[in-house]
Amino acid sequence: MGKVKIDELPIPTTPHRSTTSVLDATDATPSFRISDADKSYKYQYSNIYFTRLSELRNPIEERALKRWANVDGKPRLVRRVLEVVKSQLCYIVGTVYMDMPLKPNVLEDIARDHSIPPPPPPPKYYSPEDSILIEDESGRIKLVGDRVKTAGLVTGVVVGALGVETPNGEFEVVDLCYPGMAPQPAEDEDTMEQDGGDEWIAVVSGLSIGSPSSPDVSLQMLVEYLTGEEGGIEDQGSAARISRLVIAGNSLAAVVIPVKGDERGKYNYDTTTFSPHPTQTLAGHLYDIGRVMPIHVLPGEADPSGTILPQQAFPRGMLGPVASLRSLSCETNPTYIRIGGSKGVARTLLVNSGQPLNDMFKYLACPPSTRLSMLASTLSWRHMAPTAPDTLWCHPYFGVDPFIMRETPDVYIVGGQKKFGTKMVREDGRRCRLVLVPEFARTGTVVLVNVQSLEVKTVKFGVDGM
């Protein structure tokens, strides 16, 4: 009997999965977790504005002194906005307040007839009747002039304004000064010059599990891609270079109250749209991914978490078996994540689920303003959520404003956006990669960020005809 020849088993050509580690946060990137001792709602929101102005005043005054040192007329700093002298060139520092007729007004809401349903919120607060004011502890003064009209300001931004007071008592602005990008830890000059390393971070937002239009096929393709079960050798090799996954909010779909009475089930829900187990579905997908890579999960506006910022982390218990995996990290929204890669590279990621940018977008006309340009402005303003607490709900902090950027992140990620966008922002030797992450349920897009080079690319999942 002849010998049976058995072919040798093929040797996989895909590399081992790349790994990154979570490093200790720096002193300038504090945690957004609210301790039990700080869960108090007895303080006025004015404390946040006073703290914000107090902390950002010094960097603005220092930059303004250099910026306007050679201006004709030798403008001087006026410490209080109500002490401005008419017709004398000077500069003031204060907090911007946008007086907008279309902006929600809590006093009007209290006074309205509650027997009548409230009107839907406008998609934009912007209108030609808007006024821009600047205020400090002494009072307010109205800002006028083309320079301030085209500056793209929103409520809560701390600025320095150069100009003169007009006979009408308004302050005509000729130039503006911001705090500028916050300090950034020094980096080896050779790091950015090296070829891109193997470590990538995947970022996805808006899975919207439980929605009647939830893309189950695209979501399953995403899970199989991340776990290396999809595609050929090239696809699996690409997936193996992904070291961790960040989910930037809205993992679950928002609850929609059913209106069709003839389609309501035994427990008073619409049987045609209601999914009884979205959390279980999410937990199942996280478990599959968590067995091969670390996962960071942020809550979003539609998720079962508190509505005010910072949203606190999901309780691990709600995620079932995946809660037992050490690879799962339930994060706050927003959050800082310090990542360590190969070759001694360390990157700070600032991630939020999109509420601050979505709220700021309502303040400005589009065009000329874009979401990327507005996100870049928050770096110059050193504040990630300036419209809080005016039109964006946040915790009533006392003596601290955690949304101030005390350190410029290497990567600034915002989820819950309509489309993908990215930009590298540079200023005074500092740099930051901006990333807008689109809703996966609508676009099927996942964003990949290279830990070393900060290169960004996208991978899209979908089925033709679906």
Give the DSSP letter string of 98-145. Answer: EE-TTS--HHHHHHS-TTSPPPPPPS----TT-EEEEE-SS-EEEEES
Whether 360 has a pLDDT exceeding 80, the answer reads yes
Kind of pairing, strands 411-417 and 346-352?
Answer: parallel
Whether 426 has a pLDDT exceeding 80, the answer reads yes
More confident residue, 3 or 68: 68
Whether 70 has a pLDDT exceeding 80, the answer reads yes
Lowest mean pLDDT among 206-215, 363-372, 409-418: 206-215
Which among 282, 295, 287 is positioned nearest to 203, based on CA atoms? 295
CB 95 within 8 A of CB 54: no
Q: How confident is the model at residue 239 (pLDDT cuts 50, 70, 90)?
A: confident
pLDDT given for residue 235 in this prediction: 72
Helices (H), 247-395: 278-290, 355-361, 371-381
Q: How confident is the model at residue 366 (pLDDT cuts 50, 70, 90)?
A: confident
pLDDT tens string 27-55: 999 899 998 877 888 888 889 999 999 99
Q: Is the omega angle on the peptide bond into residue 167 within 30 degrees of 0, that is, cis?
A: no
Give me the numbers of helices (H) and strands (E) for the chain, helices first please: 9, 18
Q: Token pair 């006028």 is at which residue?
A: 144
> Which residues in 387-396 are b (16+ Cβ under 10 Å) and which e?
bbbbbbebbe
CB 409 within 8 A of CB 161: no
CA separation for the pair 248, 458 (Å, rounded): 15
Lowest mean pLDDT among 4-8, 37-41, 179-183, 324-328: 4-8
Q: Which residues, in sequence order, are bridge partners of residue 133?
A: 97, 142
Which H or E run includes 22? strand 21-22
Q: Token pair 């007071």 is at which residue?
A: 165
The first and second tokens of residue 390, run together, are 């005016």
CA separation for the pair 106, 113 (Å, rounded): 13
The angle that helices 278-290 and 216-226 make with each other, rounded to 10 degrees, is 20
pLDDT tens string 262-301: 455 455 555 544 555 889 999 999 999 999 999 999 999 9
Q: How far is CA 69 from CA 77, 88, 158, 321, 447, in A?
A: 11, 16, 20, 62, 44
Radius of gyration for the alpha carbons in the chain, expressed in angstroms and rounded: 25
Task: Please compute the mean of the pLDDT values over residues 416-432 and round it to a whole number.
Answer: 96
Which H or E run includes 53? helix 46-67
CB 392 within 8 A of CB 378: no
Q: How confident is the model at residue 4 (pLDDT cuts 50, 70, 90)?
A: low
3-state DSSP call for residue 414?
strand
Name the burial class of residue 327, with classes exposed (0-12), middle (13-18) and buried (19+) by CB atoms within 10 angstroms of its CB.
middle
Whether 15 has a pLDDT exceeding 60, the answer reads no
Dihedrals phi, psi of 450, to nearest 5 degrees:
-80, 125
3-state DSSP call for residue 213?
coil
Whether 441 has a pLDDT exceeding 70, the answer reads yes
Taking the mean position of all CA atoms in its chain, how far away is CA 82? 35
Percent of the chain with pLDDT over 90: 68
pLDDT given for residue 234 in this prediction: 76
Whether 194 has a pLDDT exceeding 60, the answer reads no
pLDDT given for residue 98 in this prediction: 97
pLDDT given for residue 311 in this prediction: 97
Whether 9 has a pLDDT exceeding 50, the answer reads no
pLDDT given for residue 19 in this prediction: 85
pLDDT tens string 242-252: 999 999 999 99
pLDDT given for residue 223 in this prediction: 95
pLDDT given for residue 109 in this prediction: 66
| Mean pLDDT of the chain, nearest integer | 88
Strand order in the sheet with 21-22: 21-22, 335-340, 346-352, 411-417, 430-438, 421-427
pLDDT given for residue 287 in this prediction: 96
Which H or E run includes 164? strand 158-165
Domains of the chain as residue ranges with CATH: 21-30+183-460 (3.60.21.50), 46-107+120-177 (2.40.50.430)
Which residues touch 66 (CB under 8 Å, ≥6 apart)? none
pLDDT given for residue 257 in this prediction: 60
CB 289 within 8 A of CB 226: yes
Lowest mean pLDDT among 42-46, 55-59, 114-118: 114-118
pLDDT tens string 322-356: 999 999 999 999 999 999 987 789 999 999 999 99
Predicted TM-score (pTM) of the model is 0.90
Number of residues in the chain: 466
